[in-house]
């Protein structure tokens, strides 16, 4: 009865609630996985900014702008990608990927007695590359339940009981209560949907694969074509390993895709990009990591890879001619030559090989190879006095330590 009275009053007054989702309505939770090394633009078009949740009946209406969805997506995607920016209506020209979205609301149930509403809703998010080619579409669905607040019925009772004398006060109050509650329902629903989108993005391999390919196509010093060298077989076994925080080197130790590198090269990442000398770039899984020895094992899918043997000796003979292969300062597959200067124990008790072969940033994880046997004597790790005047004091984790971690892998 009282709801019928309210409807009659709304027919006369035509009250409208106008509002908007708060820009900061969504706060993303940090992800445990490493960020994908891509720059993403969330395209905030005027269409999206002005899109509103609109519902009306019996002379009243609710008009709530949904433009803040873009802010929510930016917050969530910033925990997944290296950099996420909010664009103003246009695609981001320098971004690796652009994101567009659409929020759809369909009223599926109206309870005319209670005023309760049910909506089926979907948030569609589309990732495209620089050529506007779709990489992947994501959809998060939900059901939004709007239950009329008890205060609306109370205000309706007061309105009817006073024979509408207080309607100039109660009707706007009812409209505000309906609208504010609708905003809360909208925000909670959109929070769930944006979180769903984030979970799906994290699990979607095509975006990580795109990151790998994108890096492969944009490296400044491609070595896919090279002049023949007597070191080709050794160089073919060496890889470049890249994460969101930098890059280093590695090398195959089996034909079925096992790669040795430094623990500090892979960091805390579960996956890394692995570039081969033939130009291919593969996704690698970090299957073993030991900070104590600064060593890690990465596995890529495939077989028939050129690989290097680990020297099975306690110490490398001093004076042995050696080469290092890696990517110092981003210069791919650089070979430097020297000798074994000494065998030492590092302060943590790790066996290391001292060499005067140049080791620079980017060489980490690459092999120190004996020229007489072609076997790996150690994994290039660090240089002493990097910022001082000393030269030729370079170190590799001994093959003895490498063998320990390799032999610990399940067969």
The residue to which tokens 């943590």 are assigned: 348
CA 319 – CA 180 distance, rounded (Å): 79
Residue 219, C-beta contacts closer than 8 angstroms, at least 6 positions apart:
240, 275, 330, 332
Residue 230 burial (C-beta neighbours within 10 Å; 0-12, 13-18, 19+): exposed
From the DSSP assignment, how many helices (H) and strands (E) are in the chain? 9, 20
Backbone angles phi, psi at 237, to 5 degrees: -85, -10
Task: List active site positions.
Answer: 264, 294, 364
Q: Give the tokens for residue 260.
A: 């040795």
DSSP 158-212: HHHHTTTTTHHHHHHHHHHHHHHHHHHHHHHHHHHHHHHHHHHHHH-HHHHHHHH
Residue 363 near residue 378 (C-beta atoms within 8 A): no
| 264 half-sphere exposure, CB direction, 13 A CA radius | 14
Residue 306 near residue 258 (C-beta atoms within 8 A): no
């Amino acid at each position: 009865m009282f709801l019928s009275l309210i409807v009659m009053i709304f027919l006369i007054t035509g009250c409208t609630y106008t509002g908007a989702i708060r820009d900061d309505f969504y706060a993303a939770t940090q992800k445990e996985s490493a960020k994908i090394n891509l720059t993403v633009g969330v395209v905030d078009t005027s269409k999206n900014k002005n899109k509103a949740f609109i519902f009306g009946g019996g002379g009243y209406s609710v008009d709530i702008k949904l433009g803040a969805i873009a802010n929510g997506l930016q917050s969530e995607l910033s925990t997944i990608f290296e950099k996420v920016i909010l664009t103003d209506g246009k695609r981001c020209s320098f971004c690796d990927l652009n994101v567009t979205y659409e929020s759809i609301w369909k009223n599926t149930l109206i309870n005319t007695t209670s005023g309760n509403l049910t909506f089926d809703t979907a948030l569609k998010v589309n990732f495209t590359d620089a050529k506007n080619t779709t990489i992947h579409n994501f959809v998060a669905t939900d059901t939004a339940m709007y239950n009329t607040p008890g205060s609306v019925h109370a205000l309706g009772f007061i309105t009817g009981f006073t024979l509408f004398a207080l309607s100039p006060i109660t009707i706007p109050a009812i409209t505000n209560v309906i609208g504010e509650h609708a905003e809360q329902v909208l925000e909670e629903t959109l929070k769930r949907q944006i979180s769903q989108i984030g979970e799906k993005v994290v699990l979607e391999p095509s975006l990580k694969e795109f990151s790998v390919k994108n890096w492969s196509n944009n490296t400044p010093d491609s070595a896919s074509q090279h002049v023949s060298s007597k070191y080709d077989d050794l160089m073919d076994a060496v890889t470049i390993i890249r994460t969101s925080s930098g890059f280093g080197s590695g090398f195959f130790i089996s034909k079925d895709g096992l790669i040795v590198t430094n623990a500090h090269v892979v960091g805390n990442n579960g996956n890394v990009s692995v570039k081969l000398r033939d130009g291919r770039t593969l996704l690698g899984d970090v299957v073993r990591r030991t900070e104590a020895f600064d060593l890690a094992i990465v596995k890529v899918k495939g077989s028939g890879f050129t690989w290097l043997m680990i020297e099975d000796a306690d110490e490398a003979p001093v004076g042995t001619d050696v080469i290092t292969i890696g990517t110092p300062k981003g210069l791919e597959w650089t070979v430097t030559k020297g000798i074994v200067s000494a065998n030492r124990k590092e302060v943590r008790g790790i066996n290391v090989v001292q060499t005067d072969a140049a080791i620079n940033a980017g060489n980490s994880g690459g092999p120190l190879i004996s020229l007489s046997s072609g076997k790996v004597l150690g994994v290039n790790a660090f240089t002493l006095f990097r910022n001082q005047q000393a030269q030729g004091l370079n170190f590799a984790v001994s093959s003895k330590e490498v063998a320990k971690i390799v032999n610990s892998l399940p067969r």
